[in-house]
């Protein structure tokens, strides 16, 4: 992999790690939208490599999810009941979703990516304290399976759907981050298996410009570099912002997602 591309991925991972950790958003979706914006600028065709980009991004988020989950477990801020309820379905959905990513056309993946962007904006802006549901459908396995598959097709790590489930179950907000990263960890690790053995391997000629290192659908050098940047960005994001500053940052991020939505379908 060229040195310039390595530096580019590291800096992008560092920035996405800082943003996702500070305003509590999906690191995979943050990285994927950034790559979709900037890869064409360095003559890397997104259309031909979308499955590789999604696979490498999801795998790159694994160390960050593991660190945040272990940190939440150490401080006792994990909702084990919610995690164990949906984790098996998420794991199954991860394997199936990874296979579907290799089979789906570029337009289908863009449609699911657009759905992920809209869902992220909706979940982050909805006033959930006013939502009073009487009960949640008690079908955790199919719900988790469907959520995991749709999440991967939309290029994210299940973080958005997990936050939605956490809101609907009215769990303690202080325990949400450890729980969400735990769900994303189960989904991403299961997806790793599906990406290593994809239903349809990516086209090798389109990868020749980046060099060797392709394992299934995962471009290992890019995934490793992005993972290091994301992890360091998460570690560096320790300062506290006020509630007002958090809202401003979240509004800016949602505007960025809306711009991405228009960029996808222009």
Give me the pLDDT at residue 23, please. 85
Distance (Å, rounded) from C-alpha 106 to C-alpha 203? 14
Sequence-ordered list of residues with C-beta below 8 angstroms from that of 247, at least 6 positions apart, any chain? none
**What average pLDDT does this structure show over 204-227?**
78
What pLDDT sits at residue 166? 81
Residue 247: count other Cβ atoms within 10 Å of its Cβ. Answer: 12
Name the band, by pLDDT with cuts 50, 70 and 90, for residue 201: confident
Quick one: average pLDDT of 73-88? 85
Q: Give the lowest-confidence range in 110-114, 186-190, 238-242.
A: 238-242
Residue 145: enclosing H or E segment and its boundaries? Answer: helix 140-153
Cβ atoms 142, 89 nearer than 8 A: yes
**Residue % of the chain over a pLDDT of 70:** 89
Going by C-alpha positions, the residue among 207, 90, 214 that lies closest to residue 145 is 90
The predicted model gives 250-266 an average pLDDT of 87
Does the model's pTM come out above 0.75?
yes
Mean pLDDT of the residues in the chain: 84
Q: What is the pLDDT of residues 29-76, one digit of tens each?
A: 899 998 888 888 777 878 888 889 999 999 999 999 999 898 888 888
């Amino acid at each position: 992999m060229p040195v310039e591309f390595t530096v580019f991925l590291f800096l992008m991972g560092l920035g996405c790690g800082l943003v996702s950790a500070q305003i509590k958003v999906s690191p995979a979706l943050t990285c994927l939208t950034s790559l979709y914006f900037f890869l064409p600028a360095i003559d890397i065709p997104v259309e031909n490599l979308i499955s590789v980009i999604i696979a490498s991004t999801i795998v790159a988020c694994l160390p960050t999810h593991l660190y945040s989950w272990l940190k939440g477990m150490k401080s006792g801020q994990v909702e084990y009941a919610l995690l164990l309820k949906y984790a098996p379905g998420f794991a199954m959905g991860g394997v199936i979703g990874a296979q579907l990513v290799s089979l789906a056309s570029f337009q289908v993946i863009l449609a699911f990516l657009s759905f992920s962007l809209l869902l992220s904006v909706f979940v982050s802006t909805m006033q959930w304290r006013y939502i009073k549901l009487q009960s949640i459908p008690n079908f955790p396995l199919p719900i988790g399976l469907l959520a995991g598959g749709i999440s991967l097709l939309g290029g994210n790590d299940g973080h958005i759907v997990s936050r939605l489930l956490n809101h609907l179950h009215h769990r303690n907000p202080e325990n949400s981050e450890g729980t969400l990263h735990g769900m994303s960890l189960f989904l991403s690790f299961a997806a790793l298996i599906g990406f290593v053995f994809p239903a349809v391997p990516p086209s090798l000629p389109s990868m020749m410009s980046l060099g060797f290192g392709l394992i299934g659908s995962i471009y290992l050098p890019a995934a490793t570099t992005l993972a290091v940047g994301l992890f360091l960005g998460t570690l560096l994001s320790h300062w506290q912002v006020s509630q007002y500053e958090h809202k401003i940052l979240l509004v800016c991020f949602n505007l960025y997602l809306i711009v991405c939505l228009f960029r996808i379908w222009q």
